[in-house]
Amino acid sequence: MDVLSNLALGFGVALTLKNLAYCFLGVFLGTLIGVLPGIGPLVTIAMLLPITFGLDPVSSLIMLAGIFYGAQYGGSTTAILVNMPGEVSSAVTAIDGYQMARQGRAGPALATAAMASFVGGILSTLLVAFFGPLVGRWALEFGAAEYFSLMLMGLVFSAVLSHGDLVKALAMVAIGLLLGIVGTDVTSGLPRFSFGIPELLDGVGFTVVAVGLFAVSEIVLNLARNEKVEVFAKDVKNLMPTWADMKAAAMPTLRGTALGSFFGALPGITASVAAFSAYMLEKKLAKDPSRFGHGAIEGVAAPEAANNAAAQTHFIPTLTLGIPASAVMALMLGALTMQGIQPGPQVMTSKPELFWGLVASMFVGNTLLLILNLPLVGLWARLTQVPYRWLFPAILVFACVGNFSLNNSAMDVYLCAGIGVLGYVFAKLDCQPAPLILGYVLGPMLEENLRRALLMSEGSFAVFVTRPISLAFLVVTALILLAMVLPGLRRRRESAVEASAG
Amino acid sequence: MNRRIARAATAALATLAFAIPGLAQAQAGYPDKPVRLIVPFPPGGGTDIISRIVADKLSTTLGWKVVVENKAGAGGTLGLDAAAKSKADGYTLVMAQTANLSIAPSLMSGLPYDPVKNFTPVTLVDAAPLAITVGASSPIKTLADLVAAAKAAPGKLLFASPGNATVAHLAGEYFQKVAGIKYTHVPYKGTSQALPDVISGRAAFFVASLESAMPQVKSGQLRAIAVTSAKRASQWPDVPTVAESGYAGFEAITWFGIAVPAGTPDPIVARLHTEIVKVLAMPEVKERLGGELTTGPAAFAALIKSDHDKWAGVIKEAGIKTK
């Protein structure tokens, strides 16, 4: 088969000693820098970009890609250990991963994250290899109306699933929306909530929100509550997941991979949406959803698989259409341009060794990451036993460095501190940060696509139901809503399940 | 602390070197420390790539240490502002472009710098035309087709741009005015977000920098129907200009140029100009950066002024809201 011979060509390129070395160097550097809290893949690649200028294009792309998914790996390590996500998608991992670490289960959490990422990475790379061009063409079908309906489905889905105080959750979504729309409005070009501060014209960055909300506020909370407890976890229990853990994580990993691969292929959607959807889906499917937020292993496996799967399928629009699906992908295309290669769809045919070499290197790199990370789990897990008085100042320093280095802007550091205070207040009021992040991520995309769809349809709402893909999403949304307003239906179904099980 | 020591040291040196004409000496030895080139956009983008090519050549051929510093945000305004507030000693350069020096003043009321008063232009580095493109399956084959389609259904044709008040958006508005037609502007967050809608034909046509539309045109997903420069682009000799398609005098380009904070000593500005022009003349640089430019500081200053007047008029007439 064609793909197989192409893959053979790719492995021929990726498995040369030189490219193997660059792939290893990439994932190693990525993991290393990604592990520094607050420094995500974007900053890592931006910093290391100049190193690759001296390399040949294939090697440099292999290394950059390695840095990218390596840093994503490292980012979840800090999300789990110190509640400091390096990027949006690991913010989801932080929710349950950090709770696992607090319970002394950092080892299983890290190992689960590593294995889920591996599975997600390998399966979605297969998708890239076999269906890349096909999926790329399909992604073109997504316009403003389709994106809007898809986001609406996501938002409704997660609203239905929220447990606990609904009013508080809605309030947090609203605050997230407000934070998300700070900056220049795409449709009108006018600034909103920027208060005349030029730094706010581009909005409040995700790292700023996540690090402030999760890491900074967590540190303040810890300082405020137990003076006696000196470390996160007194004793680190078994390092590797138990058989029961693995079984609990298996299906979430596969479902996460499927969702991640889907969202990653759409150029208009950030990987965070994939991780969020995977998390929400698991919460919905769980027998006891109340465990989520308190260290549920499914809450680590699903978003990790999803975010790594999305990281690989992000390459589909980038390489088959020449349309970068994220800032990191744009950076990679920039790196190719620096090499004198005109990026775009023609790269696949004109430089097959580049495309297939990269695809093959993703298999190699994901495997290397697993080999690299599993033995390190013990070392990282022990980090949870470092006394607070050492750990906290270090985390704060990294948080500042990470936030500053994104734009070389001190404003981001102040904002992060301010959001940290907000996060502390939220925690005291018993408000969960997850709905806020959801509003922050989905809100602006929802608004932008709604307005664009209406602008393009001259104000006619019919566009959402006349376009088939959009209609399909709306129908599913309606079904979800129906299931919610008819709780009797759900109860009956549950008792039916119990009856058949019994 | 460091700065205080440095200042004390400078003062001491100045006293010691009293007999020598200190300033002239400093210029003769220029540069004796790293020169930073502020890029007001993130790494990996078009401006960054251009900047790195120039910085790299200055470093390798002259042995200067030119450090690219990305200071992105607010459409480049933050980087320009940082440069304007830097010491005018020749050790801070900035890669500015049309948007920062010629458009921002008409668009932002609270612009923290004055493009004319706060900067001394050194040289133009690159100028790029915009391309008007349509999806490959579009019935529109020429600029005349586009105008006819717009006339047949006033206000219905969808014009995609990479963002509000970008040069591409303004060029589209400008053409609307020149051709006496009306279409609807649909802004996106950058080229990559707009491409799927243009390729699939959901938007009728797209105006964006030639460079950013190039991959899709090459692969046959988009068709270029015109370029907005005065002369045809060397990369696409077959694509007509808007001017030669019946709108004589039409020109809309994005240019990039190096400026220094106002007050930088003239000999240093002259030296920078000479060296950068030498770099631009190298064949391998010429291949990457666009073509024949009038590069002198005076020509650059005149371009900033004339583009400012042109875009101010378009912004006013199109009723683009100012910040």
Concatenating the DSSP letter of every residue in A203-267 gives ---HHHHHIIIIIIHHHHHHHHH-SS--SS-SS---SSPPHHHHHHHHHHHHHHHHHHHHHHT-T
**Top-confidence residue, B4 or B153:** B153
Q: Render pLDDT for A349-406 as a digit per residue (tens, 0 to 9).
A: 777 888 888 888 888 988 998 888 888 777 777 777 777 788 788 888 888 887 887 7
| B69 near A CB under 8 A | yes
Average confidence score pLDDT of chain B:
86
The answer, yes or no, to whether residue B170 has pLDDT greater than 90, is yes
The answer, yes or no, to whether residue A73 has pLDDT greater than 90, is no
- DSSP for A120-185, written as a single string: HHHHHHHHHHHHHHHHHHHHTT--HHHHHHHHHHHHHHHHHH--S-HHHHHHHHHHHHHHHT-EE-
Average confidence score pLDDT of chain A:
82
Its CATH class, for the domain covering B129-245, is alpha beta
For residue A331, the chain B residues in CB contact (below 8 A) are 42-44
pLDDT for B17 equals: 42
Q: Which of A186, A185, A449, A458 is nearest to B183 (CA)?
A: A458
Report the range out of A482-496, B107-121, B140-154 with the highest average pLDDT: B140-154
For residue B192, the chain A residues in CB contact (below 8 A) are 267, 323-325, 330
| B163 near A CB under 8 A | yes
The answer, yes or no, to whether residue A493 has pLDDT greater than 60, is no
pLDDT for A462 equals: 92
Q: Which residues pair with A286 in a beta bridge?
A: none
Percent of chain A whose pLDDT exceeds 70? 88
The answer, yes or no, to whether residue A82 has pLDDT greater than 90, is no
- Distance between CA atoms of residues A91 and A211, nearest Å: 9
Q: Which of A224, A225, A186 is nearest to A203 (CA)?
A: A186
Reported confidence tier of residue A87, pLDDT bands at 50, 70, 90? low
Residues 446-485 of A with CB under 8 A from B: 448, 452, 455-456, 458
The answer, yes or no, to whether residue B21 has pLDDT greater than 50, is no
Cβ atoms A425, A166 nearer than 8 A:
no
pLDDT for B250 equals: 94
Under 8 Å CB-to-CB from B52, ≥6 apart: which residues? A50, A338, B68
Does residue A444 have a cis peptide bond before it, meaning omega lies within 30 degrees of 0?
no
Reported confidence tier of residue A222, pLDDT bands at 50, 70, 90? confident
Reported confidence tier of residue A231, pLDDT bands at 50, 70, 90? low
Indicate if B129-245 has the same CATH topology as B33-127+253-318: yes
Q: Do B219 and A143 touch (CB under 8 A)?
A: no
Smallest Cα distance from A152 to chain B, Å = 19
Its CATH class, for the domain covering B33-127+253-318, is alpha beta
Angle between helices A57-82 and A41-48 (to 10 degrees): 140
| B283 near A CB under 8 A | no
ipTM of the complex: 0.80
Contact pairs from chain A to chain B, CB under 8 Å: 135
Best mutation site among A44, A188, A194, A321 for testing chain B: the one with the most B CBs within 10 Å? A321
pLDDT for B264 equals: 93
Q: Render pLDDT for A101-134 as a digit per residue (tens, 0 to 9).
A: 888 888 889 889 988 989 998 999 888 888 877 7
The answer, yes or no, to whether residue A24 has pLDDT greater than 80, is yes
Q: What is the mean pLDDT of residues A5-18?
A: 88
Q: Render pLDDT for A251-284 as a digit per residue (tens, 0 to 9).
A: 999 999 999 998 888 876 777 788 888 888 888 7
The answer, yes or no, to whether residue A488 has pLDDT greater than 70, is no
Q: What is the mean pLDDT of residues B194-211?
A: 92
| A412 near B CB under 8 A | no
The answer, yes or no, to whether residue B230 has pLDDT greater than 60, is yes
**How crowded is residue B112: how many other Cβ atoms within 10 Å of its Cβ?**
16
pLDDT for A481 equals: 80
Q: What is the mean pLDDT of residues B249-270?
A: 93
Reported confidence tier of residue A431, pLDDT bands at 50, 70, 90? confident
For residue A143, the chain B residues in CB contact (below 8 A) are 196-197, 200, 202
pLDDT for A234 equals: 56
Quick one: chain B helix, strand, coil %, rounded to 5?
45, 20, 35
Q: Does an H or E element contain A81, and which?
A: helix A57-82
Asked whether the CA dihedral A332, A335, A339, A343 is positive or negative, the reply is: positive
Burial A268-277 (b: 16+ CB within 10 A, else e): bbbbbbbbbb
Q: Which of A193, A151, A160, A188 is nearest to A175 (CA)?
A: A193
- Distance between CA atoms of residues B231 and B228, nearest Å: 8
Distances (CA, A) of B242 to B175, B178, B182, B249: 9, 11, 17, 9
Q: Do A342 and B215 touch (CB under 8 A)?
A: yes
Cβ atoms A149, A411 nearer than 8 A:
no
Give me the residue spans of the domains in chain B.
33-127+253-318, 129-245
| B73 near A CB under 8 A | yes
Percent of chain B whose pLDDT exceeds 90? 57
| B218 near A CB under 8 A | yes
pLDDT for A230 equals: 57
The answer, yes or no, to whether residue B23 has pLDDT greater than 50, is no
Report the range out of A312-326, A438-452, B139-153 with the highest average pLDDT: B139-153
pLDDT for A501 equals: 47
The answer, yes or no, to whether residue A289 has pLDDT greater than 70, is yes
Q: Render pLDDT for B55-110 as a digit per residue (tens, 0 to 9).
A: 988 988 888 889 998 888 888 889 999 999 999 999 999 999 999 999 999 988 88
Residues 65-124 of A with CB under 8 A from B: none
Q: Are strands B35-39 and B184-187 parallel, antiparallel or unpaired?
A: unpaired
